[in-house]
């Protein structure tokens, strides 16, 4: 099976390489750590990891990085003898790791799933255990971990019905890989049931809850002064702020079309538009220009005194790591990738801030959280662009409705806390004893 997979993977990789490298180039900073993606980590990393056992955590991108950092903070007091290392796949994820983690935590790029690249990574890092956050399950990586008898953990796991069907279709391939895992922490009972159905050992699977509820409650860090930033571009203190977070293609056009109509009813309405991928800023700018929206890019805001009031209708956020600060000042929040794309982005972060939240029909990646918010009358789910406009108008015109929605959202977040503690216990229970612990047990036994 390995031979067949690697033939197909190499073929797929080189066919998709132009798109893959173009995306890296558009995101910027692609040269930094480029060799790491192929398992070349250099003598400095090996020296830094030489003295202590290594716990390797992997967070795919920005969404998983916050969860991973929260988990590290909770794990470290229990593992004083370990060196923690974190990998990520994207440059935006790496930027978040650099910003959030102290320098003693090693940060690397995850290797592409070539056998040689993964083998070099395993030799360089020699992990005592590996913790994968959510679902980054690459076969060569799992095979190599099994070859060196490295315990595998999967945390904050979820699986959609569609993914379940795909894994079941190729069960002969995936079941032996999934059976290797020492422990799996799932977000919901349905996720746990599906994990067992696709081959994870029943005794290894537990329901630990959604770590993103805890991550949304993390202590605030010093950051962007949004009110001061808005004053510099002439936005008044009493402006109503519609923050559209993590939007995808098509959603910006919808928001640009409904903004002038809403502004006729709410003249102080101002749109803050934050695309999920900041490299799409030029594409989004063209959508805004075609519809006559006066906007300014986040990176073009000059220092100094305020601009003329009313000059801009929209702020286009073409930067990373600042969305939470905009959420903090929002009057209403729209969560993207839910109206014109499938999957949905994270509604928990604005909900934890007590903001009234709206999202579209496609929240597959956050299905249980979205269902909890809607069932608890703590968020509004809309079917299409027309329904979005209607729901926004209702919220903007009714302060009590906004306050009630936000208060119930915050309450649901509070009710779902505790996943971090349960996940820490899952990992600690499954970690193999160190050589020193084995020797101590042997002495005690004698």
Integer Cα distance of 346 and 187 in angstroms: 14
Q: Residue 335: which pLDDT band, with cuts at 50, 70 and 90? A: very high
Q: How far apart are CA 141 and CA 117, in angstroms?
A: 9
pLDDT at 327: 97
pLDDT tens digits along 369-397: 999 999 999 999 999 999 999 999 999 99
Q: CA 137 → CA 8, 10, 145, 437, distances in Å?
A: 16, 17, 12, 31
Mean pLDDT of all residues belonging to the chain: 92
Contact 262, 392 (CB under 8 A): yes
Q: How far apart are CA 354 and CA 408, in angstroms?
A: 8
- Residue labelled with tokens 């940060």: 107
The reply to whether 226-415 shares the fold of 50-218+418-430 is yes
Q: Strand, coil or helix: what is 358?
A: strand
Catalytic pick among 44, 64, 237, 349: 64
Find the mean pLDDT for residues 327-335: 98
Least reliable range by pLDDT among 117-121, 209-213, 245-249, 442-446? 442-446
Average pLDDT over residues 339-349: 94
Note if the pTM is more than 0.85.
yes
Paired tokens of 88: 């990520």
> Rounded to an integer, what distance in angstroms lies between the CA atom of residue 115 and that of residue 145?
12
- Residue 292 and residue 313 in contact, taking contact as beta carbons nearer than 8 Å: no
CA distance 160 to 47: 41
Give the pLDDT score at 92.
Answer: 86
The CATH fold assigned to 50-218+418-430 is Rossmann fold (3.40.50)
Tell me which of 34-43, 218-227, 302-311, 339-348 is least confident: 218-227
Sorted by where each begins, the domain ranges of the chain are 50-218+418-430, 226-415
Identify the CA nearest to 187 among candidates 162, 206, 165. Answer: 206
Contact in structure between 117 and 38 (CB atoms under 8 Å): yes
pLDDT for 436 beyond 70: no
**Predicted confidence (pLDDT) at residue 136 exceeds the cutoff of 90:** no
Phi, psi of 128 (to 5 degrees): -75, -30
Nearest CA-CA partner of 138 in 158, 152, 124, 156: 152
Determine the average pLDDT of the residues in 341-362. 96
Helix, strand, coil shares, percent, the chain, to 5? 50, 15, 35
- Secondary structure of residue 244 in the 3-state scheme: strand
Q: What's the CA gap between 108 and 118, in Å, rounded?
A: 13
CA angle 345, 57, 352 (to 5 degrees): 35
Question: Could you tell me the fold of the domain covering 226-415?
Answer: Rossmann fold (3.40.50)
Query: How is residue 65 written in tokens?
Result: 């990085």
Mean pLDDT value of segment 279-292: 94
DSSP, collapsed to helix, strand or coil, labels residue 234 as coil
- Please tell me the distance from the alpha carbon of residue 212 to that of residue 417, in angstroms, as a whole number: 9
- Please report the beta strands in 201-349, taking only residues with DSSP state E, as ranges in sequence order: 205-207, 240-247, 269-275, 295-297, 314-316, 332-335
pLDDT at position 31 over 80: no
Q: What 3-state class would DSSP assign to 246?
A: strand
Token pair listed for 426: 């899952």
The verdict on whether 64 is a catalytic residue reads: yes
């Amino acid at each position: 099976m390995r031979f067949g997979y690697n033939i197909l993977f190499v073929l797929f990789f080189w066919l998709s390489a132009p798109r893959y490298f173009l995306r890296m180039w558009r995101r910027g900073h692609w040269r930094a750590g480029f060799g790491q993606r192929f398992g070349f980590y250099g003598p400095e990393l090996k020296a830094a990891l030489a003295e202590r056992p290594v716990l390797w955590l992997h967070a795919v991108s920005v969404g998983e990085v916050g969860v991973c950092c929260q988990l590290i903070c909770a794990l470290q007091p229990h593992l004083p003898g370990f060196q923690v290392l974190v990998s990520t796949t994207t440059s935006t994820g790496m930027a978040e790791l650099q910003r959030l983690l102290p320098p003693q935590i090693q940060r690397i790029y995850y290797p592409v799933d070539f056998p040689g690249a993964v083998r070099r990574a395993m030799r360089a890092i020699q992990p005592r255990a590996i913790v994968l956050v959510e679902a980054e399950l690459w076969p060569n990586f799992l095979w190599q971990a099994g070859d060196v008898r490295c315990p595998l953990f999967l945390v904050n796991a979820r699986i959609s019905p569609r993914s379940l069907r795909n894994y079941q279709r190729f069960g002969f391939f995936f079941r032996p890989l999934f059976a290797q895992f020492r422990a799996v922490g799932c977000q919901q009972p349905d996720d746990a049931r599906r994990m067992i159905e696709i081959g994870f050992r029943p005794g290894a699977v537990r329901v630990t809850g959604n770590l993103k509820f805890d991550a949304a409650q993390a202590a605030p860090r010093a950051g962007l002064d949004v009110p001061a930033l808005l004053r510099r571009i002439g936005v008044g203190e009493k402006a109503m702020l519609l923050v559209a977070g993590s939007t995808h293609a098509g959603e910006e056009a919808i928001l640009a079309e409904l903004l002038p109509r809403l502004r006729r009813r709410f003249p102080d309405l101002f749109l803050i538009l934050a695309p999920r991928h900041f490299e799409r800023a030029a594409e989004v700018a063209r959508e805004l220009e075609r519809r006559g929206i006066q906007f300014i890019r986040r990176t073009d805001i000059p220092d100094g005194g305020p601009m003329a009031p009313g000059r801009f209708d929209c702020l286009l956020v073409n930067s990373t790591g600042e969305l939470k600060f905009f959420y903090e000042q929002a009057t209403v929040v729209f969560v993207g990738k839910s109206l014109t794309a499938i999957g949905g982005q994270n509604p928990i972060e604005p909900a934890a801030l007590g903001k009234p939240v709206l999202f579209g029909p496609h929240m597959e990646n956050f299905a249980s959280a979205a269902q909890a918010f809607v069932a608890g009358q703590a968020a509004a789910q809309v079917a299409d662009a027309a329904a979005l406009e209607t729901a926004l108008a209702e919220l903007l015109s009714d302060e009590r409705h906004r306050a009630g929605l936000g208060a119930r959202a915050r309450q649901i977040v509070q009710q779902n806390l505790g996943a971090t503690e349960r996940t820490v216990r899952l990992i600690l229970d499954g970690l193999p004893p160190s050589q020193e612990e084995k020797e101590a047990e042997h002495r005690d036994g004698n």
